[in-house]
Amino acid sequence: AQSVTQLGSHVSVSEGALVLLRCNYSSSVPPYLFWYVQYPNQGLQLLLKYTSAATLVKGINGFEAEFKKSETSFHLTKPSAHMSDAAEYFCAVSAKGGGSNYKLTFGKGTLLTVNP
């Protein structure tokens, strides 16, 4: 079974400050890991994904995440927050290997607020 824990349902930062959104996962097999962003009244947009290549993954809009197997973590970071980054962010895991359910298991989400 796989699960995702996002620490902090709400994170607030100042414009220009570091953004750090935390994600820890559990999976019985090596996982694929994803970060999605959801702007108000919109669908899910893929920010980045880890698929067992480089452990540091760069995504869109200046975001990146590092896969740390020893810590079972996949935290999302951005060096300098912009007002346009205000949205809800979801971490998700999908197990590689056998089975027919390519289920994405999502965390409960972290709402990012950016203050001017």
Shortest reach from residue 78's CB to other proteins, in Å: 21
Question: Residue 37: CA atoms inside 13 Å, Cβ hemisphere, count?
Answer: 18
Shortest reach from residue 43's CB to other proteins, in Å: 4
Using the minimum distance from each CB to other proteins, give the nearer residue, 15 or 105. Answer: 105
Using the minimum distance from each CB to other proteins, give the nearer residue, 72 or 105. Answer: 105
Using the minimum distance from each CB to other proteins, give the nearer residue, 70 or 100. Answer: 100
- Interface contacts to other proteins, rule CB under 8 A: 9, 32, 34, 36, 42-44, 46, 49, 51, 90, 92, 94, 96, 100-104, 106-109
Two structure tokens written together for 4: 């995702």
Nearest to 7 by CA among 16, 19, 20: 20
Shortest reach from residue 81's CB to other proteins, in Å: 23
- Helix, coil or strand: residue 60: helix
Using the minimum distance from each CB to other proteins, give the nearer residue, 3 or 84. Answer: 3
Judged by phi (left if over 0) then psi (alpha if -120 to 50, else beta), residue 52 lies in left
Contacts of 81 (CB under 8 A, 6+ apart): 13, 14, 15, 16, 17, 18, 19, 112, 114
Shortest reach from residue 70's CB to other proteins, in Å: 23
